[in-house]
């Protein structure tokens, strides 16, 4: 329902592309809501539903008579879609999409339809923001809370507009926070010492003297298997001061263990 209400216009035909997990279950559930309100929709499967949620809502969608067909590129229902909903991979995804999943992502990206990603863009790592083959959406509807990866690495190149819908989840602990530009600037001015600036893409330490820079080349420092936040935390400990990361998606400050993000312009709400 949160996804349904986040989209302004469901007119025409909606094609929902689903995977086998709970993200696919969201797609089946969304289809039943669209059907109950008189909107035309179809479901395009990349695998049989496997999780209890996906199985339950796939049966509910089938019971409504909603077309459920295997995904393939020359499907007339897909070709005529005004909106395509991406429910292929959820927040547990990491690595690279392959086979039929990669084909579906590429099809979505080359479509003229309005693309909505549910919870997260399929192919985007929700922790690190890394992505190789990933859906490029017009709108991403995050469910519950934003995922850290939505603010890192390639996220801004993949997400046209980002909204978050509350579904009653209570966090045990808030890892990070987000401030608007005025609050973010005020925080930077209060800090002593002033933050060292690095670039997220390669974490190039331009303002660090050569002696310090050499200490960062030790084998175990590692950027390959760490998120940008983890790397920045390592820098904070090693350099004894806050680190301001100039990111590709948005800037963020690490001062201790918490990252404070500058609210990106493409996040609505």
Residue 237 domain boundaries: 177-262
Both 160 and 184 in a single domain?
no
Domains of the chain: total: 2
pLDDT at 201: 61
Boundary (domain end) residue, out of 165, 194, 227? 165
**In a 3-state reduction of DSSP, which class is residue 107?**
helix
Both 13 and 140 in a single domain?
yes
Sequence-separated (6 or more) residues with CB below 8 Å from residue 263:
178, 179, 180, 181, 184, 250
In a domain, 172, yes or no: no
Both 85 and 181 in a single domain?
no
pLDDT at 97: 92
**CA distances from residue 51 to 3, 15, 17, 22 in whole angstroms, order as listed:** 20, 21, 16, 6
Both 10 and 129 in a single domain?
yes
pLDDT at 203: 56
pLDDT at 212: 54
Whichever domain contains 66, its CATH number is: 3.40.50.10260
Both 28 and 151 in a single domain?
yes
In a domain, 224, yes or no: yes
Say whether pLDDT at 37 is over 70.
yes
Say whether pLDDT at 220 is over 50.
no
Sequence-separated (6 or more) residues with CB below 8 Å from residue 20:
46, 47, 48, 49, 50, 51, 54
Q: Tell me the average pLDDT across 197-207.
A: 62
Nearest in space to 19 (alpha carbons), one of 81, 108, 79: 108
pLDDT at 73: 65
pLDDT digits (tens, 9 = 90+) for 104-160: 999 999 999 999 999 999 999 999 888 999 999 999 999 999 999 999 988 999 999
pLDDT digits (tens, 9 = 90+) for 237-265: 877 889 999 888 999 999 877 899 999 98
Higher pLDDT, 197 or 43: 43
Preceding amide of 193 cis, omega within 30 = yes
Both 206 and 146 in a single domain?
no
Say whether pLDDT at 78 is over 80.
yes
């Amino acid at each position: 329902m949160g996804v349904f209400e986040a989209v302004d216009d469901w007119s025409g035909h909606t094609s929902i592309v689903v995977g086998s997990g709970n993200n696919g279950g969201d797609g089946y559930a969304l289809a039943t809501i669209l059907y109950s309100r008189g909107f035309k929709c179809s479901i395009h499967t990349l695998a049989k539903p496997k999780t209890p949620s996906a199985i339950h809502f796939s049966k509910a969608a089938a019971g409504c008579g909603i077309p459920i067909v295997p995904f393939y590129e020359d499907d007339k229902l897909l070709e005529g879609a005004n909106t395509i909903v991406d429910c292929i991979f959820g927040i547990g995804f990491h690595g690279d999409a392959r086979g039929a999943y990669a084909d579906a992502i590429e099809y979505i990206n080359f479509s003229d339809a309005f693309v909505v990603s549910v919870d997260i863009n399929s192919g985007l790592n929700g922790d690190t923001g890394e992505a190789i083959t990933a859906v490029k959406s017009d709108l991403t509807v995050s469910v519950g809370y934003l995922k850290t990866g939505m603010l890192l690495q390639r996220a801004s190149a993949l997400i046209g507009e980002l909204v978050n819908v509350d579904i009653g989840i209570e966090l045990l602990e808030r890892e990070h926070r987000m401030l608007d530009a005025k609050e973010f600037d005020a925080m930077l001015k209060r800090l002593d010492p002033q933050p060292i600036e690095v670039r997220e893409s390669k974490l190039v330490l331009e303002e660090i003297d050569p002696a310090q820079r050499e200490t960062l080349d030790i084998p175990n420092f590692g950027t390959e298997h760490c998120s940008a936040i983890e790397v920045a935390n390592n820098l904070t400990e090693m350099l004894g001061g806050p680190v301001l990361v100039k990111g590709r998606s948005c800037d963020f400050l690490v001062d201790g263990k918490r990252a404070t993000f500058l609210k990106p312009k493409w996040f609505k709400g």
